[in-house]
Structure 1
Amino acid sequence: MRIGLITAAPDHPLLAAAGALLTARGHRVEALDPRGPAGDGPLADVYLLKARTPAALALARSLEERGAPVVNPAAATELCQDRTAMAELARRAGLPFAPTRTADGPAALLALAEAGELALPLVVKSRHSRRHDLVARVDGLTRLRALAEQWPGEPVVAQPYLPSTGWDQKLWVVAGQLFCTRRRSELADPGHTAQPHGPAGFGPGDLPAERARLALRVGEVFGLDVYGVDLLDGPDEAVVVDVNAFPGIRGQAGAPEALAALALRAAAAGSRGSRPLPGPRTAAPADAGPGATAR
């Protein structure tokens, strides 16, 4: 089999480890830098779409149009880059996604807050997810005014700042196999430095069953095979604050093996002409619940 990696960093630990496993089994692994020309040579049996830049998405779409299977599909990957579309799809599917409001920029949020139409504290994020985008906690109008000056014209989403332990539960899924850890939230209060349940590790066996089911449901809704789900830590009902297509999944034993196995299954399915449809899977409408999106 020939496996293509759509990435500008083929030495990423997850890709490198999965690639080494595939190579050891006699398969050919090739990196395809999305910043360069795509070419029109023979297609690989499957492509792993790790990069999420516009150039990478365009390359993935062109490969799909030529009949190549891509994991994750370009349409599903692109949807996860738009936090407004992400929240709306999650709401329609009944996922407990954080309430999300879209605005043309921080200045528009400031006007709403000054008019008493937007409660603080809240979390402000760039609408379009990318490297070095805006993610900030806003406790008062002074901070919001500063963001309006620093990020003029930046489309944003706003979510209420929800109480938590100051840590996030990072869940990753590779073809239905679950991995997880806790990470301190970059938005947490300075005093929230200690692990909420001590320094012991946090793995799938420590994850409540309903949260594990939620993580798998996210993949079904968004049409993803390799993805991450960020949940607020704590005993309360789970709240999804972000979904990421093909995250790094660093330091998780078994993740490279799961990715290598997925690549081979997707390649075999593609050779039979029965690969997954490119794009999010349609979910039946459900009550909006706590994930309602305000526009």
Structure 2
Amino acid sequence: MNRVVVLTDSRYLGQRMPGALLDALRARDVPAVQARADRLVAEVRAEGIAAPEPIRERRRAPPALRPGDLVVPRTRNAFALSLLLQAELRGVRTVNRWEAVQAVRDKPYAVLRLARAGVPTPRTFLADRPESLAGLPATAWPLLLKPPYGDNGQGIVRVDSPRELERLHWPEGMVLAQQYVDVAGVDVKLYGAGQQVWAVRRPSPLRAPEKPGQADEPVRLPVTRELGELARACRDVFGLELYGVDVLPSPDGPLVVDVNDFPNYTGIAEAPGAVADLVAARLTEVVSP
């Protein structure tokens, strides 16, 4: 029987997704299993990847996929993503596709794609290193410096002037810099699953909580025509089916600052069911003659 294989790693085991998706699929009697990529070993062969013989006995092998299976990745693990690519090379369908996941993980590439598509973003610069930004005009500052493979706001640094670049420790080499937009510590998160779009207002991930462990709950927002079009434009740029978009509600209109694959859908109660419906429909497409 064909299955949904949810590919993840230990980082996500305590989060809402992908566990809620697995529960929703099983409630619909859709065969679904979870595959953790941590500490697995795979051997590369002409016919694909497989576990070496001793590894099979310890059950540390990648999942044995069949052509009718459907793989759903929620992972940033490099090895897991290699398994995702291998699944596609063997003809297994995936949601999202490897190319789409890689595109949004590579932040400089992503901003170039967004700019080409005309998606509004803050003023953005790419440089080989932070010091190269020192000659930017005064109107460009402050800047938010972002690592090329940033994740959930990690590694982002605000720099208010060229002088601050002199004492900045930056281990990443290349830098993506965006003009800082003051939104009073609140931004908008758009979530998408296929044609459906949801919106929440939430504290900015860059804002430190007032108390340790404090986290404000997101507040549902109506999806205006403008927000819906913005979400679907980002979806189409990268070919994503499950996605999130970080938006700054600036005085000049919404600005996209990040796009990510298979988000947590925090604050959207109906999202696990909607994602499960999309995945179940795609599984049916896989096994249809």
Normalised to the residue count of structure 1, the TM-score between the two structures is 0.79
1:269 aligns with 2:272: no
CA distance in 2, matches of 1:222, 1:175: 13
State the secondary structure of the residue aligned to 1:14: coil
Instruction: Give the corresponding residue for 1:160.
Output: 179
Q: CA deviation at 1:235?
A: 4.8
CA distance in 2, matches of 1:66, 1:200: 42
1:28 aligns with 2:44: no
CA distance in 2, matches of 1:204, 1:23: 30
Instruction: Give the corresponding residue for 2:64.
Output: 41
Matches within 5 A, 1:105-254: 105-110=129-134, 112-113=135-136, 119-130=140-151, 133-147=154-168, 150-187=169-206, 202-205=219-222, 207-254=223-270
**1:143-170 CA-partner distances (Å, limit 9, x unpaired):** 32332xx224532101111233331101
CA distance in 1, matches of 2:92, 2:259: 25
Q: CA deviation at 1:123?
A: 0.9
Cα 1:186/1:13, change in 2 over 3 Å: closer
Whether the 8 Å contact between 2:153 and 2:205 is mirrored in structure 1 is no
Instruction: Give the corresponding residue for 1:92.
Output: 116
CA distance in 2, matches of 1:242, 1:272: 36
Letter in 2 for 1:55: F
Cα 1:54/1:235, change in 2 over 3 Å: same
CA distance in 2, matches of 1:234, 1:108: 27
What count of residue pairs does the alignment treat as equivalent?
Answer: 260
Whether the 8 Å contact between 2:191 and 2:245 is mirrored in structure 1 is yes
Instruction: Give the corresponding residue for 1:290.
Output: none
1:59 aligns with 2:83: yes
Q: CA deviation at 1:214?
A: 1.1
Instruction: Give the corresponding residue for 1:291.
Output: none
**1:233-277 CA-partner distances (Å, limit 9, x unpaired):** 24532211111111111231111001111111111122237xxxx
Cα 1:125/1:170, change in 2 over 3 Å: same
Percent sequence identity over aligned pairs: 31
Structure 1: give runs of 5+ residues left out of the alignment.
192-198, 274-295
CA distance in 2, matches of 1:209, 1:25: 32
CA distance in 2, matches of 1:95, 1:270: 32
Whether the 8 Å contact between 1:178 and 1:204 is mirrored in structure 2 is no
Structure 2: give runs of 5+ residues left out of the alignment.
42-60, 211-215
Cα 1:24/1:11, change in 2 over 3 Å: farther
State the secondary structure of the residue aligned to 2:189: strand
State the secondary structure of the residue aligned to 1:239: strand
Instruction: Give the corresponding residue for 2:3.
Output: 2
Aligned Cα root-mean-square deviation (Å): 2.7
CA distance in 1, matches of 2:164, 2:92: 47
CA distance in 2, matches of 1:72, 1:156: 27
> Runs of 4 or more off by more than 6 Å in structure 1?
none
Cα 1:97/1:83, change in 2 over 3 Å: same
CA distance in 2, matches of 1:17, 1:260: 9
Cα 1:137/1:75, change in 2 over 3 Å: same
Q: CA deviation at 1:2?
A: 1.1
Letter in 1 for 2:74: K
Whether the 8 Å contact between 1:169 and 1:230 is mirrored in structure 2 is yes
Q: CA deviation at 1:227?
A: 0.7
